[in-house]
Chains A and B, each alone.
Chain A
């Protein structure tokens, strides 16, 4: 044994080190088992439970879940126009919000990376991180205060002499608040992608007579597109899964998929139906991820 021939007797640590060096798979098992077991036991099994229970049903007599296979939940989803409307409303909002965020993110990201003094860049990043990470609930609540009848929005409208609007508790409010909430998620990857565009290419484009706008459209944007698209995954999937925003700033009858799931569990105690409805954002998100990958979005 090589270890035994070392001049000094090997310390236990050293022989353990040598043991793992010769058998890397043993160390890999020791390191990897706890997190993989955790995620397998609590996350993948939970996803499996979600899929399984979407094919079960609540017994209307006893209120207990019956473990019998049925497509009833999915039939209900497809046949009932209310649920179809909720699903389309949610997906439509996710698309509109994502487009809005791209339009808002590009100028700020471009400014941060290409125009602002690099000295200020860390501060700009920080100013974007504060709203990104400060409580979601707090930010939705802030918008509720702003858009309320006696809020700042109407006060500002009054200042320029217009009658107070009714933005609060409407689709407009949802559009503004969702776009606001996920904007930093789109800005950060976009800025990172813009940063990676080599400036030599921009200079080459300028030398060849391309003006700023043309250089942006023909060189910068195509090269930054993967980062931008990766950012839209967040804005899209987060809109699909939120129920807090519709609950707090949406009007009556503006339920989203999240609210329908919330009500199915919390009010109707019908977990199987909630699980079936939750497969809709799951599938839509998966399709969106797939489409983004096809379009070259960064991993």
Chain B
């Protein structure tokens, strides 16, 4: 009896701890949502009055609009490059055994396995070395490089779970390699490619560390936020922009989660 009672007490404590940790994870996200609607120029809790004033001000702010457009362009282009190259890379490493393959599959994940500051300063040194002036394109190159890994990870995970028998059946029934790819392989990996694309977009849209070192005079939306916070300017507009960034990163992720079908299969 004693042991049963202590076991269930332990279980209650565990559940309480788990829910506390979950609350800890979600609290800041709620805070962002609340502050975006605060009708005040000073950041104070409790929030006295709610309004949409900060939204109107943020929409009217030209700097924010330019930064938003730049971030969208960078994210869209980086995603496109990452989808093409990441998918190709996954196929290459999945289908072929060649010398240096394991070294390559290790090197591939470095852009996200290594601290962002290393990728950032490495690209900064490199662009300086080859005398490539920092511009829109250097941001796109930097973002594509770590976005490739995201797409690669998702497509590779899917390929490894594909039953090889379907491909063999298709070939046995007379389809050639291309037909088999379009009719069998492509439909089965398309959702993984889509999920990878959404994650890559989300990652690029809010990236700040690598961007700092590769943007030069360009200001992406995260760089605008960072600058405004440091200067303590337009903080009520920062609240709104931060909410928009959260939505623009969280929505693709939840969508990609749905695409991948099963929980916990996203590969960052």
Contact = CB atoms under 8 A, between A and B. Distances in A.
Contacts of A32: 88-89, 92, 96
B82 to A, nearest CB: 10
A84 B104 CA distance: 34
B3 A211 contact: yes
A150 B35 CA distance: 13
Given A125-B263, A135-B222, A130 B230 contact: no
A237 B126 contact: no
A135 B246 contact: yes
Interface in A35-81: 35-36, 38-39, 42-50, 52-53, 65
B197 to A, nearest CB: 14
A242 B117 contact: yes
B42 A107 contact: no
A241 B32 contact: no
Interface in B93-108: 95-96, 98, 104, 107-108
Interface in B119-136: 119, 121-126, 128-129
Interface stretch (B54-62, B185-193, B250-258): B250-258
A142 interface: yes
Interface string A240-262: 11111001100000000110011
B238 interface: yes
B91 A46 contact: no
Given A35-B85, A110-B14, A148-B43, A261 B126 contact: no
Given A47-B122, A115-B11, A28 B117 contact: no
A223 interface: no
A45 B126 contact: yes
B177 A129 contact: no
Interface string A117-135: 0000110111111111111
Contact of B31 (A133, A142, A285): A142
Contacts of A133: 199, 202-203, 249-250, 253, 268
A79 to B, nearest CB: 22
Interface in A165-211: 180, 183-185, 188, 191-192, 195, 211
A45 B7 CA distance: 57
Contact of B121 (A20, A31, A278): A278
A96 to B, nearest CB: 17
B229 A271 contact: no
Contacts of A39: 89, 107-108, 145, 148
A42 B119 CA distance: 10
Contacts, number: 291
Contacts of B159: none
B66 to A, nearest CB: 18
B166 interface: no
Contacts of B91: 31
B26 A145 contact: no
Given A28-B95, A244-B226, A34 B110 contact: no
A212 B6 CA distance: 10
Nearest to B86: A35
A238 interface: yes
Contacts of B117: 240-243, 257-258, 261-262, 278, 281
Contacts of B264: 125, 188, 191-192, 195
Contacts of B32: 138, 141-142, 145
A293 to B, nearest CB: 11
Given A142-B31, A244-B208, A271-B125, A233 B113 contact: yes
14 contacts: A35-B148, A43-B110, A43-B145, A104-B24, A125-B264, A128-B25, A134-B253, A135-B206, A138-B246, A148-B43, A242-B117, A262-B117, A275-B121, A282-B114
Given A17-B176, A65-B128, A213-B10, 6 more contacts: A18-B176, A126-B263, A150-B45, A151-B43, A242-B117, A248-B226
